[in-house]
C-alpha cells in the first residue's frame, strides 16, 4: 500500500505504542493481541488500515485520536498538531470514521504516535451531506460503545468499511442506522433470526433479554410495547417502514443490543437521527 514520503522523528530512542489489554466482550472475535509488541517486532514500518472512532482535544492544536485498526483492534494515538505540515496530518483525517492508511511510530507512554498517514479512500460525501454526517456520527458513537482495546476482528472492520463506502457512493441511506446496528449485532454474536408471522403482524411482543418474539408470558423478562416489537420484526424481515416505524425499530434494536452488551448509556446522536 502506498503512502507519502514524509517521515517522523528519528534517533536512538525506541519507544513503543502501548495498548491496554482488555478483551472485547464479544464471542465472535479473534482475541487480544499486544499491538506494541507487533510494531516492535517489525524491521520495517508496517502500514495499517484504520477508521477514526473519535478524538479528544488536547489544548488548542493537539488531540488524542481513537482509532480502529483493521488487524490490531482499537488504538489511541497522540497527534501533536492537527495542522502540522511536518507531521503530514490534516484536520480531515480526524473526522469521525475517516478512512486512513497509516504507519505507527514508536512512542513512549500509554499513547501511540503516527509516523505517516493519508486518507484512503478520501470520502466524497460522508462528511459533507447533513444526513450522512448524522449517520457517521451515530455509527462512530455506536462503535465506540462496543469496541474494546486489545481485540481485532478484520471481518467486522471490512463490513463496516464496505457499508461506509456504499453510503459514500450515494446508495440509499433511509435504513442506514438500522443497517449499521444490525451489522454490529451480527458481529457481536447477537444476530436476530427472521421472525415468524405473529411477530410481523404485531401479535407477539419482543423480549430484548431473550432476543426473541414470543407470546406474552413466555419469559420472565419484560417485553417491549407492541409498536416497537412489530417495527423491529418487520425491519429484520426486510419490510418497508415509514419514519415512525424506523425510529421504533431502532429503539427496539438498541434495547436489545444493550440487554446483550451492558455497560453503555444512551447514544446522543439517536435523537437527532429521528428528525432526518
Q: 38-47, 107-116, 205-214: which has the minimum mean pLDDT?
A: 38-47
Q: 38-47, 137-146, 166-175, 257-266: which has the minimum mean pLDDT?
A: 38-47
What stretch(es) of the chain map to CATH 2.40.50.140? 1-123
Pick one of 1.20.1440.120, 3.40.190.10, 3.40.1010.10, 1.20.1250.20 as the CATH number of 130-273.
Answer: 1.20.1440.120
**Quick check: 51 and 125 in contact, CB under 8 A?**
no
Residue 259 makes CB contacts below 8 A (sequence gap 6+) with 208, 209, 211
What stretch(es) of the chain map to CATH 1.20.1440.120? 130-273
pLDDT tens for 133-168 read 999 999 999 999 999 776 789 999 999 999 999 999
φ and ψ at 251, to 5 degrees? -60, -45
End-to-end CA distance of the chain: 38
- The pLDDT of residue 17: 33
User: Could you say which DSSP state residue 157 is in?
Assistant: H
SS3 of residue 116 by DSSP: strand
Number of Cβ atoms within 10 Å of the Cβ of 130: 9
Residue 200 has pLDDT above 90, yes or no: yes
Q: Which of 8, 5, 40, 10 is nearest to 118 (CA)?
A: 5
**Higher-confidence position of 253 and 23:** 253
**Quick check: 254 and 267 in contact, CB under 8 A?**
yes
Distances (CA, A) of 66 to 32, 42, 104, 247: 17, 23, 13, 29
Tell me the DSSP string of 230-253: HHHHHHHTT----HHHHHHHHHHH
Q: Which three cell numbers stand for residue 181?
A: 446496528
Average pLDDT, the chain: 83
- The pLDDT of residue 81: 84
User: Could you say which DSSP state residue 268 is in?
Assistant: T
pLDDT tens for 71-93 read 999 999 998 888 765 556 788 99
Task: Classify domain 1-123 at the CATH superfamily level.
Answer: Nucleic acid-binding proteins (2.40.50.140)
Binned at pLDDT 50, 70 and 90, residue 271 comes out as confident
- The pLDDT of residue 24: 35
Amino acid at each position: 500500500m502506498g503512502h507519502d514520503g514524509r517521515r517522523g522523528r528519528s534517533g536512538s530512542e525506541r519507544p513503543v505504542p502501548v495498548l491496554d489489554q482488555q478483551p472485547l466482550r464479544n464471542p465472535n472475535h479473534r482475541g487480544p493481541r499486544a499491538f506494541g509488541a507487533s510494531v516492535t517486532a517489525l524491521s520495517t514500518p508496517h502500514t495499517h488500515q484504520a477508521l477514526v472512532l473519535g478524538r479528544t482535544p488536547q489544548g488548542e492544536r493537539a488531540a488524542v485520536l481513537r482509532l480502529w485498526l483493521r488487524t490490531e483492534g482499537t488504538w489511541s494515538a497522540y497527534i501533536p498538531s492537527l495542522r502540522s505540515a511536518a507531521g503530514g496530518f490534516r484536520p480531515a483525517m480526524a473526522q469521525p470514521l475517516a478512512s486512513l492508511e497509516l504507519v505507527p511510530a514508536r512512542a513512549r507512554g500509554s499513547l501511540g504516535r503516527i509516523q505517516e498517514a493519508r486518507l484512503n479512500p478520501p470520502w466524497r460525501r460522508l462528511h459533507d451531506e447533513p444526513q450522512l454526517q448524522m449517520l457517521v456520527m451515530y455509527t462512530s458513537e455506536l462503535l465506540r460503545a462496543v469496541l474494546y482495546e486489545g481485540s481485532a476482528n478484520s471481518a467486522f472492520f471490512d463490513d463496516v468499511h464496505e457499508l461506509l463506502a456504499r453510503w459514500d457512493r450515494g446508495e440509499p441511506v433511509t435504513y442506514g442506522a438500522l443497517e449499521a446496528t444490525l451489522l454490529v449485532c451480527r458481529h457481536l454474536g447477537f444476530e436476530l433470526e427472521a421472525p415468524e408471522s405473529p411477530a410481523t403482524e404485531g401479535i407477539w411482543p419482543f423480549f430484548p433479554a431473550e432476543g426473541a418474539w414470543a407470546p406474552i408470558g413466555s419469559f420472565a423478562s419484560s417485553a417491549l410495547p407492541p409498536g416497537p416489537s412489530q417495527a423491529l420484526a418487520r425491519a429484520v424481515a426486510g419490510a418497508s417502514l415509514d419514519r415512525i416505524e424506523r425510529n421504533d425499530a431502532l429503539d427496539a434494536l438498541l434495547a436489545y443490543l444493550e440487554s446483550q452488551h451492558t455497560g453503555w448509556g444512551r447514544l446522543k446522536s439517536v435523537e437527532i437521527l429521528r428528525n432526518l
